[in-house]
Amino acid sequence: MINLMNFLKLTVFASIIFLFSATSSEAFINIESLRQSNQVGLLGSVGFRVSGEIGNAEKFTGTINTIDGYLTEKREILIIADYGYGRSFGQRNRNDGRLHLRHTRKYDDFPDVETFAQSQFNEFTRLRNRSLAGANLRFQLFRDEHKFLYLGTGAFYEKQDRESSPNRDGVRANIYISYLYKLEKNLEASITGYYQPYVNEFSDYWVNSNAGLEYFFRRSLSFRTEVNVAVDGNAPDGVKSTDIKYLTGFNFRY
């Protein structure tokens, strides 16, 4: 059971990560808990979040995400995918997805080296496709038994295909920070934030974050609530620059 002091700490931490998320960022699947599981070999996680209403209001929103990987003491190979769909009063109001591939080489006396590629779309921000590939250095800033903090710096090349807007391509910087705090044996909080500006036009940027609380009923089953926020510094006319999504649901590990 969670004692009063840890409950207060949890409440304060949840407030902080929500405020951080709500002022800065987008939906990125949180992978840190899986990466820090100390397991080796093939492993993965699949998550479901569903909400809806029937009656005077007819609404449905559902998301599914999966992380599959092969982990050793020196390498990580991850495949990450998510898809979200929603309808309201018979009309589609959400349709977006992402596929992310990542390889990490770990070193004892040098920052980890990450290479990655990604493709995504979002019908309601007029993003037909965003494809990118790049590399990062991943620095461990702090780590103890209950919490850790990582900083990633790097760059990637991207191409954007947007409806009713000129296509864009170029090099973006990629800076991220990732924090995980294990409040109890079965309870952890996490936040990951990304800042991705074009290197030759800093007014055109993406800011992305995911903040969540996850309770583990057992090693293979957990309940997670999270806030995902996206800010597009160069959103097309008629598209809001900020998207906020809040979701709850179950994750299954295997």
pLDDT, tens digit, 9 for 90 and up, residues 132-154: 999 999 999 998 888 899 999 99
Q: Write down the H helix ranges in the chain.
A: 4-24, 32-35
* The total number of structural domains that make up the chain: 1
% of residues, the chain, pLDDT over 70: 84
In this structure, the dihedral spanned by the alpha carbons of residues 193, 197, 203 and 206, taken in order and rounded to 10 degrees, is -40
- CATH code of the domain containing 159: 2.40.160.40
In this structure, the dihedral spanned by the alpha carbons of residues 24, 29, 32 and 34, taken in order and rounded to 10 degrees, is 160
Give mean pLDDT, residues 2-27: 44
Distance between CA 14 and CA 29 in Å, rounded? 18
At residue 47, what are phi and psi to the nearest 5 degrees?
-125, 145
- pTM comes to 0.80
Which pLDDT tens digit goes with each residue over 153-186? 999 999 999 987 888 899 999 999 999 998 888 8
**Which residue type does 197 have?**
P
Structural domain boundaries, residue 73: 4-253
